[in-house]
Amino acid sequence: MASKSDASSKKSSMRPDIATLGGLLLAAGGILGGLVIEGGKLTDIAQVTALMIVLGGTIGAVMVTTPLKTLIKAAKCLGSVFFEHAQSPQDVIEEVISYATKARKNSIISLESDLPNIADPFLQKAISLSVDGTDLQELRKMMELDIALEHRNGESVAKVYESAGGYAPTIGIIGAVLGLIQVMKHLENIEEVGRGIAVAFVATVYGVASANLFFLPVANKIKARFHHSLEMKELMLEGVCSIVEGLNPKLIRIKLDPFSDEGAESAKKVKAPQAKAAQTAPARG
């Protein structure tokens, strides 16, 4: 039981996503650093009104096009962009193998006592259905429906940020035009006109930068997170179905190994010598 609780705590833990944090810092540092090297100042692009126009207009447009429930889900998923669950496919495989071993020794009914200790709701539901004696085909259909619904949910959440990435540059242009309108009111002062035009185009910078450095990358990262989650669920489903079929735990491990990085690497190592042997083998005529 101690090992299972340790595995559960590992799967529930979260760690900062170095790629996301490092990417944002690198992008911002590169752009701002280039501005300073070219003789500009950070205050040149520090315009609160331009930021208010771009963010307010973009968020407002997204709210018009997206249902409220989806907006709330998208806001909750934003944390997963900066933090990731430390869920390893190998840990899931080991957990499934432990249940398969127990079921083979003591029958699948014995897994009922393990249900409260299963951290993942999907795996818990699948094993619960198997313990209840659900038909294998019906079990697979029910769990595949859960996978399909999560896939649809992930696509709708990512679409929110993709929409924001589409609206932001256009809202930035609107902000620039509004700034130019104000500039045109003071054409008598050439110096003020030049300064005003520079300030007006800051909104365009905010719109393009927010779309390409935040909204669109966030949408892609959320898609990647959901894709990984779906792979884990497919792994769990195949494992539970194999347990219901009564397969040997060794065969189940072989069946699930391709889901893990270690299994994929070992498969490549096995195929590489075979490919070389096929290339070096003399042709028979």
Quick: pLDDT tens for 234-271: 999 999 999 999 899 999 999 999 988 654 454 444 44
- Buried b / exposed e over 43-78, threshold 16 CB at 10 Å, is eebebeebbebbbebbeebbeeebeeebbebbeebe
Cβ partners under 8 Å of residue 140, min gap 6 = 237, 241
Query: What percentage of the chain reaches a pLDDT higher than 70?
Result: 85
Q: What is the reported pLDDT for 233?
A: 94
Whether 31 has a pLDDT exceeding 90, the answer reads: no
Q: Among residues 156, 162, 14, 155, which one has the least CA distance to residue 82?
A: 14
Per-residue pLDDT of 43-101, as tens digits, reads: 778 888 889 999 999 999 999 999 999 999 999 999 889 988 767 899 899 999 999 99
Query: What percentage of the chain reaches a pLDDT higher than 90?
Result: 56
107 sits in the region (left: phi over 0; alpha: psi -120 to 50; else beta) called left
Torsion on CA atoms 63, 64, 65, 69, rounded to nearest 10: 50
Question: What average pLDDT is seen over the chain?
Answer: 84
Q: Among residues 221, 177, 269, which one has the least CA distance to residue 24?
A: 221
Q: Whole-structure pTM over 0.85, yes or no?
A: no
CB 17 within 8 A of CB 82: yes
In this prediction, residue 275 has a pLDDT band, given cuts at 50, 70 and 90, of: very low
In angstroms, the CA 241 to CA 140 distance is: 7
Q: What is the reported pLDDT for 269?
A: 46
Angle between helices 136-184 and 190-200 (to 10 degrees): 180
Mean pLDDT of 206-222: 95
